Amino acid sequence: MSRIYRSGKAVIKKPAVDRYTKGYFLRRFACNLRWETIDCGWKLNALFHSGEVPKNLIQPVADFYVHILNITELSRCVKGRVSKRLQTEVKAFIDAINQMDLTISAASSHTDCYKKTKEQVIQVCDACRHFIWQFEQTMNSFKLGFKLPAAPTNWALKEHLDQLIRDHRATRDADSFPRFKHVARALATKGHTLSEKMYGNYKRQYKAGTYNNLIQ
Protein backbone atom coordinates (compact mmCIF):
# COMPACT_ATOMS: atom_id res chain seq x y z
CA MET A 1 0.00 0.00 0.00
CA SER A 2 1.36 3.44 -0.95
CA ARG A 3 1.15 6.48 1.27
CA ILE A 4 -0.39 9.74 0.12
CA TYR A 5 0.03 12.81 2.26
CA ARG A 6 -2.95 15.09 2.66
CA SER A 7 -2.94 18.11 4.89
CA GLY A 8 0.28 16.92 6.47
CA LYS A 9 -1.22 13.57 7.48
CA ALA A 10 -0.14 10.17 6.24
CA VAL A 11 -2.99 8.35 4.54
CA ILE A 12 -2.77 4.74 3.45
CA LYS A 13 -4.14 4.27 -0.04
CA LYS A 14 -6.00 0.98 -0.19
CA PRO A 15 -5.89 -1.05 -3.41
CA ALA A 16 -9.04 -1.02 -5.53
CA VAL A 17 -11.35 -3.92 -4.77
CA ASP A 18 -13.58 -5.33 -7.50
CA ARG A 19 -17.20 -5.36 -6.44
CA TYR A 20 -18.63 -8.83 -6.67
CA THR A 21 -22.02 -7.90 -8.06
CA LYS A 22 -24.36 -10.28 -9.84
CA GLY A 23 -23.15 -8.81 -13.10
CA TYR A 24 -19.57 -9.64 -12.15
CA PHE A 25 -20.38 -13.35 -11.94
CA LEU A 26 -22.69 -13.42 -14.96
CA ARG A 27 -19.99 -11.91 -17.18
CA ARG A 28 -17.64 -14.74 -16.22
CA PHE A 29 -20.28 -17.43 -16.64
CA ALA A 30 -21.09 -16.02 -20.08
CA CYS A 31 -17.42 -16.09 -21.09
CA ASN A 32 -17.16 -19.74 -20.03
CA LEU A 33 -20.24 -20.65 -22.06
CA ARG A 34 -18.99 -18.71 -25.07
CA TRP A 35 -15.61 -20.45 -25.13
CA GLU A 36 -17.15 -23.90 -24.68
CA THR A 37 -19.69 -23.38 -27.46
CA ILE A 38 -17.03 -21.95 -29.78
CA ASP A 39 -14.90 -25.05 -29.22
CA CYS A 40 -17.84 -27.31 -30.10
CA GLY A 41 -18.71 -25.00 -32.98
CA TRP A 42 -15.43 -25.68 -34.77
CA LYS A 43 -16.06 -29.41 -34.52
CA LEU A 44 -19.65 -29.06 -35.74
CA ASN A 45 -18.54 -26.91 -38.65
CA ALA A 46 -16.14 -29.63 -39.79
CA LEU A 47 -18.89 -32.25 -39.51
CA PHE A 48 -21.34 -30.14 -41.52
CA HIS A 49 -18.84 -29.72 -44.33
CA SER A 50 -18.50 -33.50 -44.58
CA GLY A 51 -21.95 -33.64 -46.17
CA GLU A 52 -23.11 -36.59 -44.05
CA VAL A 53 -25.16 -34.62 -41.54
CA PRO A 54 -28.91 -34.40 -42.34
CA LYS A 55 -29.58 -31.07 -44.08
CA ASN A 56 -32.68 -30.44 -41.98
CA LEU A 57 -30.42 -30.36 -38.89
CA ILE A 58 -27.92 -27.74 -40.07
CA GLN A 59 -30.17 -24.66 -39.92
CA PRO A 60 -31.69 -25.40 -36.46
CA VAL A 61 -28.19 -25.83 -35.01
CA ALA A 62 -27.03 -22.60 -36.67
CA ASP A 63 -30.06 -20.71 -35.29
CA PHE A 64 -29.42 -22.20 -31.86
CA TYR A 65 -25.84 -20.93 -31.96
CA VAL A 66 -27.06 -17.44 -32.83
CA HIS A 67 -29.31 -17.61 -29.75
CA ILE A 68 -26.35 -18.67 -27.58
CA LEU A 69 -24.16 -15.84 -28.84
CA ASN A 70 -26.95 -13.31 -28.21
CA ILE A 71 -27.36 -14.52 -24.63
CA THR A 72 -23.63 -14.48 -23.91
CA GLU A 73 -23.27 -11.02 -25.44
CA LEU A 74 -26.12 -9.63 -23.31
CA SER A 75 -24.64 -11.27 -20.20
CA ARG A 76 -21.16 -9.93 -20.91
CA CYS A 77 -22.57 -6.38 -21.04
CA VAL A 78 -24.06 -6.61 -17.53
CA LYS A 79 -22.26 -4.35 -15.09
CA GLY A 80 -24.36 -3.93 -11.98
CA ARG A 81 -28.04 -4.79 -12.02
CA VAL A 82 -29.37 -7.48 -14.35
CA SER A 83 -31.79 -6.02 -16.89
CA LYS A 84 -35.34 -7.25 -17.38
CA ARG A 85 -34.48 -7.84 -21.02
CA LEU A 86 -31.77 -10.35 -20.12
CA GLN A 87 -34.06 -12.16 -17.68
CA THR A 88 -36.72 -12.41 -20.41
CA GLU A 89 -34.16 -13.63 -22.95
CA VAL A 90 -32.92 -16.31 -20.54
CA LYS A 91 -36.46 -17.65 -20.10
CA ALA A 92 -36.79 -17.88 -23.89
CA PHE A 93 -33.35 -19.50 -24.01
CA ILE A 94 -34.58 -22.36 -21.81
CA ASP A 95 -37.30 -23.10 -24.40
CA ALA A 96 -34.69 -22.96 -27.19
CA ILE A 97 -32.51 -25.53 -25.38
CA ASN A 98 -35.45 -27.91 -24.95
CA GLN A 99 -36.42 -27.44 -28.61
CA MET A 100 -32.85 -28.21 -29.69
CA ASP A 101 -32.98 -31.43 -27.69
CA LEU A 102 -36.17 -32.46 -29.49
CA THR A 103 -34.73 -31.54 -32.89
CA ILE A 104 -31.51 -33.52 -32.48
CA SER A 105 -33.45 -36.52 -31.15
CA ALA A 106 -35.96 -36.46 -34.01
CA ALA A 107 -33.29 -36.39 -36.75
CA SER A 108 -33.05 -39.83 -38.31
CA SER A 109 -29.58 -40.96 -39.29
CA HIS A 110 -27.28 -43.74 -38.21
CA THR A 111 -24.02 -42.52 -39.72
CA ASP A 112 -20.96 -42.00 -37.56
CA CYS A 113 -20.95 -38.35 -38.62
CA TYR A 114 -24.48 -37.86 -37.31
CA LYS A 115 -23.61 -39.57 -34.02
CA LYS A 116 -20.63 -37.26 -33.56
CA THR A 117 -22.84 -34.28 -34.39
CA LYS A 118 -25.40 -35.40 -31.84
CA GLU A 119 -22.70 -35.75 -29.17
CA GLN A 120 -21.46 -32.20 -29.82
CA VAL A 121 -24.97 -30.72 -29.78
CA ILE A 122 -25.80 -32.53 -26.54
CA GLN A 123 -22.56 -31.20 -25.04
CA VAL A 124 -23.54 -27.65 -26.05
CA CYS A 125 -27.04 -28.09 -24.56
CA ASP A 126 -25.53 -29.34 -21.30
CA ALA A 127 -23.22 -26.31 -21.20
CA CYS A 128 -26.22 -24.04 -21.79
CA ARG A 129 -28.19 -25.71 -19.00
CA HIS A 130 -25.25 -25.26 -16.68
CA PHE A 131 -25.21 -21.56 -17.55
CA ILE A 132 -28.95 -21.35 -16.83
CA TRP A 133 -28.37 -23.00 -13.46
CA GLN A 134 -25.59 -20.52 -12.69
CA PHE A 135 -27.81 -17.63 -13.79
CA GLU A 136 -30.70 -18.73 -11.55
CA GLN A 137 -28.41 -19.34 -8.57
CA THR A 138 -26.87 -15.90 -9.03
CA MET A 139 -30.24 -14.16 -9.36
CA ASN A 140 -31.56 -15.89 -6.23
CA SER A 141 -28.45 -15.20 -4.14
CA PHE A 142 -27.95 -12.46 -1.60
CA LYS A 143 -25.79 -9.49 -2.46
CA LEU A 144 -22.31 -9.21 -0.98
CA GLY A 145 -22.39 -7.60 2.43
CA PHE A 146 -25.91 -8.83 3.24
CA LYS A 147 -26.21 -8.94 7.00
CA LEU A 148 -28.22 -11.54 8.86
CA PRO A 149 -30.62 -10.32 11.54
CA ALA A 150 -28.86 -9.43 14.78
CA ALA A 151 -31.37 -11.38 16.87
CA PRO A 152 -31.95 -15.05 16.02
CA THR A 153 -35.49 -16.06 15.10
CA ASN A 154 -37.42 -17.88 17.80
CA TRP A 155 -38.76 -20.70 15.61
CA ALA A 156 -40.49 -22.47 18.50
CA LEU A 157 -42.53 -19.31 19.14
CA LYS A 158 -43.34 -18.95 15.43
CA GLU A 159 -44.51 -22.57 15.26
CA HIS A 160 -46.85 -22.11 18.21
CA LEU A 161 -48.11 -18.81 16.77
CA ASP A 162 -48.70 -20.46 13.40
CA GLN A 163 -50.83 -23.10 15.07
CA LEU A 164 -52.82 -20.44 16.94
CA ILE A 165 -53.53 -18.63 13.68
CA ARG A 166 -54.57 -21.85 11.96
CA ASP A 167 -56.90 -22.81 14.82
CA HIS A 168 -58.41 -19.32 14.76
CA ARG A 169 -59.02 -19.41 10.99
CA ALA A 170 -60.54 -22.89 11.15
CA THR A 171 -63.66 -21.43 12.81
CA ARG A 172 -63.55 -17.84 11.53
CA ASP A 173 -62.64 -15.83 8.43
CA ALA A 174 -59.77 -17.38 6.44
CA ASP A 175 -57.83 -14.09 6.39
CA SER A 176 -58.36 -13.02 9.99
CA PHE A 177 -55.94 -13.10 12.91
CA PRO A 178 -56.58 -13.72 16.60
CA ARG A 179 -56.41 -10.73 18.93
CA PHE A 180 -53.05 -9.88 20.44
CA LYS A 181 -54.20 -10.38 24.05
CA HIS A 182 -55.40 -13.89 23.28
CA VAL A 183 -52.16 -14.70 21.45
CA ALA A 184 -49.96 -13.29 24.23
CA ARG A 185 -51.76 -15.34 26.91
CA ALA A 186 -51.65 -18.54 24.85
CA LEU A 187 -47.91 -18.14 24.08
CA ALA A 188 -47.17 -17.36 27.74
CA THR A 189 -48.43 -20.83 28.68
CA LYS A 190 -45.73 -22.20 26.34
CA GLY A 191 -43.04 -20.05 27.94
CA HIS A 192 -42.90 -17.45 25.14
CA THR A 193 -43.10 -13.66 25.30
CA LEU A 194 -44.38 -11.70 22.31
CA SER A 195 -44.65 -7.92 21.98
CA GLU A 196 -47.50 -6.26 20.10
CA LYS A 197 -45.00 -4.76 17.64
CA MET A 198 -43.46 -8.16 16.83
CA TYR A 199 -46.92 -9.66 16.43
CA GLY A 200 -47.62 -6.97 13.84
CA ASN A 201 -44.39 -7.92 11.99
CA TYR A 202 -45.36 -11.59 12.00
CA LYS A 203 -48.82 -10.78 10.62
CA ARG A 204 -47.25 -8.83 7.76
CA GLN A 205 -44.97 -11.81 7.02
CA TYR A 206 -47.99 -14.12 7.11
CA LYS A 207 -49.88 -11.97 4.61
CA ALA A 208 -46.83 -11.73 2.32
CA GLY A 209 -46.27 -15.49 2.41
CA THR A 210 -42.76 -15.14 3.91
CA TYR A 211 -43.57 -16.25 7.45
CA ASN A 212 -41.43 -19.40 7.20
CA ASN A 213 -38.55 -17.85 5.26
CA LEU A 214 -35.13 -18.12 6.85
CA ILE A 215 -34.31 -14.53 5.88
CA GLN A 216 -36.99 -11.82 5.95
Tens-binned pLDDT, residue by residue, of the chain (216 aa): 445 555 666 666 655 444 567 777 888 888 888 888 888 888 888 888 877 677 778 888 889 998 898 888 888 777 767 778 888 888 889 899 989 888 888 776 667 777 888 888 889 999 999 999 888 888 876 655 556 556 678 888 998 999 999 889 988 888 899 999 999 999 999 899 999 999 999 999 888 888 877 665
Contact assessment for residue 139 and residue 146, using Cβ atoms and an 8 Å cutoff: no
Distance, in Å, from the CA atom of 67 to the CA atom of 90, rounded to the nearest integer, reads 10
Count of structural domains within the chain: 2
The parent domain of residue 65 ranges over 22-139
121 shares a domain with 55: yes
Same domain flag for 200 and 159? yes
CA nearest neighbour of 60 among 143, 14, 124, 134: 124
| 124 belongs to a structural domain | yes
What is the reported pTM?
0.57
Both 26 and 131 in one domain: the answer is yes
Interior/surface letters 109-142, b for 16+ CB within 10 angstroms, e for the rest:
eeeebbebbbebbebbbebbeebbebbeebeeee
Domain assignment of residue 196, yes or no: yes
Long-range contact list for 177-181, CB < 8 A, 24+ apart?
177/203, 177/206
Looking at the structure, tell me whether residues 194 and 163 fall in a common domain.
yes
- Answer yes or no: do 129 and 159 share one domain: no
Claim to verify: residue 26 and residue 130 sit in the same structural domain: yes
Q: Are strands 9-12 and 3-6 parallel, antiparallel or unpaired?
A: antiparallel
Most distant CA pair in the chain, distance:
81
Residue pair 117/105 in contact (Cβ under 8 Å)? The answer is no
